[in-house]
Structure 1
Amino acid sequence: MEKEVLITKKMSTGEVTKKYPATKEVFAKYFGKGCFDCPSFGTEDINLACMMHNTDVDKFVQELNEAAYKEINKT
């Protein structure tokens, strides 16, 4: 059975980190810890953020979803 997609590249960075705080590690891994201080963080969509940081959006979204699944499946 395939997992439901929780996060898409059209979602905003703020929407994702608010709903799934564990994804902040993925953002920091790819964009650096300073990304959370950027004025556009929270409003831009994931696709734009990845374009700005020359990051493979599909791989990035996959890792965000993995982090979100680990977070919601913690017991």
Structure 2
Amino acid sequence: MIRTAGGQLYTGISTDPQRRLRQHNGELKGGAKALRGKGPLQLVFVQGMPDRAAASQAEYQLKQLSKAAKEQRISEQ
């Protein structure tokens, strides 16, 4: 999960979270439109998964959580 300067949380999957954060920050080509102009961005939660299918399922489950529940996950990491 990535936290925007305004405190919003963005959830996504990547094989290289640090590279993806750089893309979202505009340092590399390919960041999400939803995060443009919302920086600086901070990587706040990373969870390793065995494969893309498991990562997609975990992403879906995280997106269903309330912001309070996401914040709880972040603090437990």
TM-score, normalised by the number of residues in structure 1:
0.33
Q: Name which one, 1 or 2, has greater alpha-carbon Rg.
A: 2
Larger relative contact order (Cα-Cα within 8 Å, sequence gap ≥ 6) = 1
Structure holding more helix per residue: 1
Structure holding more strand per residue: 2
